[in-house]
Amino acid sequence: MHSRKITIGKCLMVVSVIVLLVVLLFPYVVMVLTALKPKSEVYAIPPHFLPKVWTPGNFIDIWEKVMLVNFITNTIFVASLSTIIALICAIPAAYALARMRFKGSKAYLYMIIITQMFSPIVLLVGLYRIIGMFGLIDSLWGLVLVDAAFNQAFAVWILRGYFASIPYELEQAAWIDGCSKWQALRKVLLPLSAPGIITALIFVFIAAWNEFTVALTIMSTEHLKPLTVGIYAFFGRYDIQWQYLFATSAIATVPVIVLFLLIEKHLISGLTAGGVKE
């Protein structure tokens, strides 16, 4: 009887996973199938799920319709640099919160997390004025700094939990062997924290890759726009070229998927490392 309950439980779990997988993947299936339809089928009434005329040429046409190479290059530049800057700033901050005991450290950590509650659109007017003061309107460097600032709090939170999970005695042993605090951090703590750093990296990179609101506000030069803003070219005055929009969106997901597959083995350990009892 007990084994029968276990079997039923496993079956229910498998069914639940399959249903969840279908729900999560369905929008991507629709995106790819729409990208493979001609325009006449996109607006067909009644609509049909599968293309009657498969049009893979949409994935070729988009490279001529918009400056897709520029958009992708700009997005890679902004996402990569903002991720590097966010991690460079987050690592020492997370280390200080994990290792140094000072009055108000927990309150400070909570304040960092609370900053994630503020949407960029709420702060858009102030951000625009600040960016303008530094002459970074319509500049990729303006996007880099904004994305790094907005994603740094999450990186600090993730890394602080991972640093706290590493035994303090390892650093003390390094000090006894003659290492300075900086050398112990660089040679002992950072290599052991690789899963946590990679987890923060992937989340910050994806957030910067998908950022839209600030980029739409401060970028106006066509060849400097990131991908999220550049695909707005497919939104016409009277219609939307969904087949090209979805084809571009499908291409935009490829770098993120590749990055995720490369570091997926480190992701789970990095996400679960923050659950330490103090």
Mean per-residue pLDDT of the chain: 83
pLDDT at residue 49 is higher than 60: yes
93: which residues sit within 8 A by CB, 6+ positions away?
A: 152, 156, 160
pLDDT at residue 78 is higher than 90: yes
79: which residues sit within 8 A by CB, 6+ positions away?
A: 147, 205, 208, 209
pLDDT at residue 141 is higher than 90: yes
The pTM (predicted TM-score) of the whole model is 0.82
Give residue 274's pLDDT: 45
Cα of 225 vs its chain's centroid, Å: 18
Task: Name, of 89-98, 163-172, 183-192, 228-237, the range with top average pLDDT.
Answer: 89-98
pLDDT in tens, 159-208: 888 888 888 888 788 888 777 778 887 878 888 888 888 888 888 999 99
Average pLDDT score over residue span 104-124: 77
Topology given in CATH for the domain delimited by 57-272: MetI-like fold (1.10.3720)
Give residue 72's pLDDT: 92
Give residue 199's pLDDT: 84
Give residue 83's pLDDT: 94
